[in-house]
Amino acid sequence: MIALISRLRVDLLLLLVAASWGSTYLAAKELVSPQSVMALLALRMLLSAAVMILIMAARRNSPTSSEVRVGIILGVLLATIFVFETFGIAHTSATNAGLIISLTMVFTPILDSAVSGRRLPGTFFLAAGTAVIGVALLASNGAFHPPSLGDLLILVAAVVRAIHVTSMHRLSHARPMDSFHLTTVQLTTCAAVFTLASLVYGDPLPTYISTLDLGRGALLLYLVLICTVFAFFIQTWAVRRTSPSRVSLLLGTEPIWAVLVGIFLARDSISPLGYCGIALILAGTAWGRSVEQNHRIGTATQVEFATRR
């Protein structure tokens, strides 16, 4: 019973992360242009890192050398995700961005199984394929057309996300590490990368800050506190308590939240085929989650039985 409650807690928190990320695209769309990508990312990461550092100072502890090394590696990967994702948002719709990024749930188990040598059941990929078909139906909304530049950039971000999740799982499992410290180092690394980048590309940071009114400032704080500090801390915490494939499946519900935000806030229209896509994503994600969990438990049981013998 305790193990079940623990799994449910991890799953619910990951679903909250997925919901916050699903709303990110509309929020970022209101804040970004092609020339302000680096300035937005620099400001978002500087504020996020500052919040984390203040909390860490209040806790009166600091990262170990191992946590700093791993955090910097993961931070560079995270910065790469943000670059492709934010440039993609500037060149495509918020709904498309939220849908295409969900392909992370396909790339992650493929990468994870390739690295670990552990084969997932074929039914898992069938479930993932069901979700991918759903994404295609939603993204096209019933009218298939070639992907835009923004769509392709978001697709690259999905691939790098899979690398980030898999790397986080393997690197942080090598030795005991504090999830809060890892998140702080990652966000601080991103802040340093984007601050330097903003000096040579696009709008200067002071110029971008001057364009923020009360409404845009509130959106920025939402991105900082909910979609960054909360979300990446929970992701780092959860990936050390479950598998990368399970994390990606739960975060794979992100497009559903993106569509709901698009429908109720941005007033996007969804065709009947689009609603079929939503159903397929939900079914594929739930199915894949169940297959992956049963396979992982079965494998652990086999290993335990073999060890006892």
Contact by Cβ (8 Å): 39, 204: yes
Contact by Cβ (8 Å): 231, 187: no
Ramachandran angles phi, psi of 33, nearest 5° = -135, 165
Per-residue pLDDT of the chain (309 residues; tens, 9 = 90+): 666 677 788 889 999 998 998 898 888 888 988 899 999 999 999 999 999 999 899 988 889 999 999 999 999 999 999 999 999 988 887 777 877 887 787 788 778 888 877 778 889 889 888 988 887 787 776 666 667 888 889 989 999 999 998 898 888 776 778 888 998 999 999 999 999 999 999 999 999 999 999 999 999 999 999 998 899 888 878 877 777 767 767 776 777 788 788 778 777 677 888 788 878 877 887 787 778 777 777 766 665 555 555
Tell me if the pTM is above 0.85: no
pLDDT, residue 79, reads 97
Residue (of 235, 225, 116, 230) closest to 168 by Cα position: 235
Residue (of 257, 243, 186, 284) closest to 15 by Cα position: 257
pLDDT, residue 245, reads 67
Residue spans of the domains in the chain: they are 2-308
Contact by Cβ (8 Å): 128, 289: no
Contact by Cβ (8 Å): 34, 223: no
pLDDT, residue 66, reads 92
